[in-house]
Amino acid sequence: MRKHKNILTGLLVSLAFFSSSCGRKGGSDTAVESSVEVKLYALSRGDIEETVPLTGSIRGEKEVKVYAKVTGKLVEKIKEEGDRLKENEAFALIDRDEAALNYSKAQVISPIDGILTMYYCDIGDAVFPSPGAPIAMIAQMDKVKAVAYLSEVDMGAVKKGQEVRIKSDAYPDEIFTGKVTTVASAANPLTRKIKVEVTVPNNRYLLKPGTFARLDIITGIRKNVLLVNSKAVAANKNEKYVFVVENGSAKMRTVSCGISSGELVEIKTGLEDGEKVIVQGNYGLIEGTKVKEENEK
């Protein structure tokens, strides 16, 4: 009986020790809380441009379609696309022979100094005087026009003389500059949009008629405003917010934003000079989550 009693006592002591050990281990795990690594951005004051972004197309400053003056066939291209032409210079020949007649070949003449940008027909094609199809396009390209169309929302902001930045996919590292030279006085009744023309110096002939361009029309500059990286700003329904760090935890802060340009956004209310906001690691972040800055030990 005593033997059984000793065995039972030993089992109880072992169970008590095992239970105590498990309790201590579990407590240790819950005490360690993981944290999310984030990158911070310090707010500062600066200037930011108000811009109207548009997509447009490039055209020669002056473009002329050239038509045949006689009926016949195009038999020779004296000049090729991309060649420079002088006013009254011949660039193609038309064979106007008819039965039993022996006409000399008719010259196709450039009406302006410019670049032969396009042939509309090939050797052997029949050509006709206007209103037939044109033979070629001649364009003056020392300056080009970027043509775009404004929506009703932006009509009041764009004015003649404003500076414009132009980018082309053909030259992603180049930024061209120009000025608004024409703002149409009436909207197209079908599209309800206003035509805008921007004149751009093109001394190197990099911008080609017929290609697309992205325009940023600078309509104003706001000076000494509070700026934040756009990656920090998120939206929830009708509110915009950022995350700041308070006592090692993420804290959501509702903000009021002004204009944006590139990677910068104007902050009107909700933040102060010098505060730091989370710009990386904020996607899907929940308020109260423990965070640590990158490289922080």
Per-residue pLDDT tens for 42-88? 999 999 999 999 999 999 999 999 999 999 999 999 999 999 999 99
* Whether residue 40 has pLDDT greater than 90: yes
DSSP state of 69: S
pLDDT in tens, 2-27: 444 444 444 444 434 444 444 444 44
Nearest partner of 279 among 41, 35, 42, judged by Cα: 41
The answer to whether the beta carbons of residues 46 and 224 sit under 8 Å apart is yes
User: What does the block give as tokens for 134?
Assistant: 């044109």
Q: What is the pLDDT of residue 33?
A: 63
Torsion of CA 116, 118, 122, 125, to 10 degrees: -100
Which element (helix H / strand E) includes 240?
strand 239-246
Say yes or no to pLDDT of 215 above 60: yes
Q: What is the mean pLDDT of residues 21-43?
A: 66
Q: Give the confidence band of 104 by pLDDT, cuts at 50, 70, 90.
A: confident
Question: pLDDT at position 230, please?
Answer: 94
Q: Where are the alpha helices (DSSP H) in the chain?
A: 2-31
pLDDT surpassing 80 at residue 295: no
In 31-162, the DSSP E strands lie at 36-42, 44-66, 72-77, 84-85, 90-95, 106-109, 114-119, 126-127, 136-150
Q: Which of 245, 226, 190 is nearest to 46 (CA)?
A: 226
- Predicted confidence band of residue 237 (pLDDT cuts 50, 70, 90): confident
- The neighbouring-strand residues paired with 56 are 213
Q: Which of 165, 195, 151, 198 is closest to 179 using CA atoms? A: 198
**What is residue 3's predicted lDDT score, i.e. its pLDDT?**
46
The per-residue pLDDT for 147 is 97
Please name each of the domains of the chain with its CATH number: 36-48+224-293 (2.40.420.20), 52-58+141-221 (2.40.30.170), 68-134 (2.40.50.100)
Nearest to 160 by CA among 187, 189, 185: 185
Q: What mean pLDDT is reported for the chain? A: 88
Query: With contact defined as beta carbons under 8 Å apart, do 244 and 38 qualify?
Result: no
Question: Is this prediction's pTM over 0.85?
Answer: no
pLDDT at res. 34: 79
* Residue whose C-alpha is closest to residue 229's, from 253, 267, 264: 264
**What does DSSP say about strands 84-85 and 106-109: parallel, antiparallel, or unpaired?**
unpaired
The CA distance from 214 to 103, in Å, is: 50
Q: What is the mean pLDDT of residues 130-159?
A: 95
Reported as half-sphere exposure (CB side, CA atoms, 13 A), residue 192 has a value of: 4
User: Could you give the CA distance from residue 56 to residue 78 in angstroms, rounded to a whole number?
Assistant: 33
* Model pLDDT for residues 185-203, shown as the tens digit of each residue: 999 999 999 999 999 999 9
